[in-house]
Amino acid sequence: GQQVMQIPQYQHVQEGEDFTTYCNSSTTLSNIQWYKQRPGGHPVFLIQLVKSGEVKKQKRLTFQFGEAKKNSSLHITATQTTDVGTYFCAVAEGNTGNQFYFGTGTSLTVIP
């Protein structure tokens, strides 16, 4: 399967600070998805990016796909305690688009 690295592995922020996690691949990706997993929970689908340079927003979350389609980022503005969890990127094998391999994840802790 695909090898996908996420950085950082862990991040602690004060509530109200911004947070960014990065997903990097050595190969060109057809698309990328982002998931959030709360402590003790299961991954929940957030969004999918398909186009080179694509930027999508969900309230305080901004997702970006790199121009070369080899990397992606998730940025959270003004973090809240409800943002706590692990954020995973997931990338598809080849061009079929439906068999996804998950990155190593970034665990976010928000300090009130």
100 is a site residue for other proteins (CB under 8 A) = yes
Question: Among the candidate windows 16-24, 61-69, 77-85, 91-99, which touches other proteins by CB under 8 A?
Answer: 91-99
Q: Cα–Cα distance between 28 and 17 in angstroms, integer?
A: 32
**In terms of CB distance, is 10 or 15 closer to other proteins?**
10
Tokens 């694509």 locate to 54
List the structure tokens of 42.
């299961």
**In terms of CB distance, is 79 or 108 closer to other proteins?**
108
> Within positions 13 to 32, which residues make up the interface with other proteins, using CB under 8 A?
31
| Beta bridge partner(s), residue 35 | 45, 88
Count of residues near other proteins by CB under 8 A: 25
3-state class (DSSP) for residue 81: helix
